[in-house]
């Protein structure tokens, strides 16, 4: 029952490559799967103070060091971290600045926090880059108060990594706090809020930190602690934005169980980039266009494949032919129905798997289909 075929296939779905459980996490999931089991030894009513499982050490020592933050909290996801910050800083008629590659949930978080949105534009096809100086232009042109700026690092459409350090400097000059959405970077590549020089950072456990999720991490510099992590008036030990305890249970325990592996894999980031670049090179040889930054700096890649689109018009399965052809070859993760534009991640694949997946595309294009 509930068998999942994709688990045994080569998975190239960007959403899933960084969220696969480690063996340690898989064991922890079974051991701590019962509801509220992590609350066994909670003595203070605050999840981050639980000593067994070692939540305290994780939230107060290991994680802050890993992402270069003074203060860290666990949220239900990256989006909930973004919302907590926006909701804490929101004022009537105020604005938030978003890069135009921002995730849809950043827009929704702003809407939920009743903030207006102004967008930093991106460059045109095929790179779609967010240029740091555009932040200054946008900020200069806005008349209402800006309470927060956000940059997506990298974005989930093209895997572009904007110059966050420069963006942080620009925002600092205008005295606007900056949030770095690192849902696709924390847990894959080295990221440090301190090095970037921004105010807030969020990550996603199920996207990039080998946790079953839903869980996110929210880090900040200490100056924001009293604002974003303010306590309830009635329940003095509870933080309002977290609604007391946010992430808990299996999502949290799998995150902690995978963490030592995550710390190690981040050190191999250069090789992940090398794999992505080699994959991109091979895909371009077939005649596809890699969108986003080139040479690419992240495992998430988007491709424009006019050839596959043309083929889909004649295929018996229509636009589902690509999904089918890849499935036949044991490859999972291109969304069913997509042919012209699609995303791929090579994260965690072996070199042989990288060659095999590129080879499969080449074969599909070369052989034609029926
Ligand atoms: C996946 C993703 C999110 C959402 O992450 P959750 O942890 O599921 O909330 C937010 N931003 C970006 C850029 C993403 O890719």
Best probe residue, ligand 1, of 98, 105, 106, 107 (max atoms within 8 Å of C-beta): 105
SS3 track for 206-267: HHHCCCCCCCEEEEECHHHHHHHCCECCCCCCCECCCCCCCCCCHHHHHHHHHHHHHHHHHC
**Domain assignment of residue 365, yes or no:** no
Are 281 and 250 in the same domain?
A: no
Asked if residues 255 and 103 have their Cβ atoms less than 8 Å apart, the reply is no
* Residue 102 located in a structural domain: yes
pLDDT tens-digit profile of 262-276? 999 999 999 999 999
How many whole angstroms from 142 Cα to the centroid of ligand 1?
A: 27
Query: Cβ distance 40 to 194 under 8 Å?
Result: no
Q: Are 61 and 172 in the same domain?
A: yes
Using the predicted structure, report yes or no on whether residue 369 has a pLDDT greater than 70: no
What ligand 1 atom has the least distance to the C-alpha of 77? Answer: 7
Domain-embedded: residue 237: yes
Element containing residue 24 per DSSP (H, E) = helix 23-31
Residue 186 and residue 140 share a domain: yes
> pLDDT band for position 300 (50/70/90)?
very high
Q: Which domain holds residue 292?
A: 12-17+267-356
* Residue 216 beta carbon below 6 angstroms from any ligand 1 atom: yes
Q: Decide if 288 contacts 307 (C-beta within 8 A).
A: yes
Question: Which CATH number goes with the domain that contains 324?
Answer: 3.90.1150.10
Q: Among the three residues 243, 261, 279, which one is the final residue of a domain in this structure?
A: 261
User: Do 65 and 186 fall into the same domain?
Assistant: yes
CA 210-211-215 angle, 5° bins: 130
Residue keyed to tokens 């042919």: 339
Quick check: is 5 in a domain? no
pLDDT tens, residue by residue, 330-351: 999 999 999 999 999 999 999 9
Residue with token string 């963006």:
167
Residues 133 and 77 reside in one and the same domain: yes
Q: Which two tokens stand for residue 141?
A: 């042109």
Each as own residue / partner, the long-range contacts of residues 323-326 (CB below 8 Å, 24 or more positions apart, any chain) are 325/360, 325/364, 325/369, 326/360, 326/364
- Do residues 171 and 82 both lie within one domain? yes
Q: What is the pLDDT of residues 118-154, one digit of tens each?
A: 999 999 999 999 999 999 999 999 989 999 999 999 9
pLDDT > 70: percent of the chain? 99
Q: What is the CA radius of gyration of the chain?
A: 21
Judgement on whether residues 200 and 273 belong to the same structural domain of the protein = no
From 104, 188, 207, the mutation candidate for ligand 1 (largest count of ligand atoms within 8 A of CB) is 207
| Ligand 1 atom closest to Cα of residue 81 | 9
pLDDT tens-digit readout, 174-221: 999 999 999 999 999 999 999 999 999 999 999 999 999 999 999 999
Q: Check pLDDT > 70 for residue 370.
A: no
Residue 185 Cβ < 6 Å to ligand 1: no
| Average pLDDT of the chain to the nearest whole number | 96
With CA atoms as reference, report the closest residue to 361 among 339, 351, 347: 339
pTM above 0.95, yes or no: yes
Of 192, 226, 261, the residue that ends a domain is 261
On whether residue 57 sits in a domain, the answer given is: yes
Domain boundary residue among 261, 291, 316?
261
Residues 53 and 88 both lie in one domain? yes
Give the total number of structural domains in the chain. Answer: 2
């Amino acid at each position: 029952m509930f068998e999942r075929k994709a688990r045994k296939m080569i998975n190239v779905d960007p959403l899933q490559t960084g969220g696969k459980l480690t063996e340690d996490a898989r064991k922890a999931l079974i051991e701590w799967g019962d509801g509220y089991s992590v609350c066994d030894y909670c003595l203070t009513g605050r999840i981050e103070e639980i000593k067994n499982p070692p939540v305290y050490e994780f939230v107060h020592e290991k994680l802050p060091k890993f992402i270069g933050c003074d203060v860290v909290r666990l949220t239900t996801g990256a989006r909930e971290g973004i919302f907590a910050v926006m909701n804490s800083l929101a004022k009537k008629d105020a604005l938030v600045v978003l890069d135009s590659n921002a995730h849809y949930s950043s827009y929704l978080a702003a809407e939920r926090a009743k903030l207006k949105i102004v967008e930093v534009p991106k460059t045109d096809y095929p790179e779609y880059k967010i240029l740091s100086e555009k932040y200054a232009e946008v900020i200069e042109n806005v008349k209402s108060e800006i309470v927060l700026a956000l940059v997506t690092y990298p974005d989930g459409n093209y895997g572009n990594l904007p110059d966050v350090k420069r963006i942080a400097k620009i925002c600092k000059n205008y005295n606007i706090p900056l949030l770095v959405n690192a849902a696709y970077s924390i847990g894959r590549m080295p990221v440090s809020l301190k090095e970037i020089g921004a105010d807030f950072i969020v990550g996603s456990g199920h996207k990039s930190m080998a946790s079953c999720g839903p869980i996110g991490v929210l880090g900040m510099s200490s100056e924001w602690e009293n604002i974003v992590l303010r306590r309830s008036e009635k329940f003095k030990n509870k933080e309002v934005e977290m609604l007391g305890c946010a992430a808990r249970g299996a999502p949290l325990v799998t995150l902690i169980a995978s963490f030592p592996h995550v710390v190690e894999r981040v050190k191999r980031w250069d090789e992940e980039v090398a794999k992505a670049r080699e994959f991109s090179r091979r895909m371009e040889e077939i005649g596809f266009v890699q969108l986003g930054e080139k040479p690419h700096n992240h495992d998430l890649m988007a491709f424009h494949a006019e050839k596959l689109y043309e083929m889909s018009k004649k295929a018996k399965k229509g636009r589902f032919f690509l999904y089918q052809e890849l499935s036949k070859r044991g490859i999972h993760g291109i969304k069913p129905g997509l042919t012209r534009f699609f995303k791929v991640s090579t994260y965690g694949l072996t070199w042989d798997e990288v060659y095999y997946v590129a080879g499969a595309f080449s074969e599909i294009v070369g052989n034609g289909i029926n």
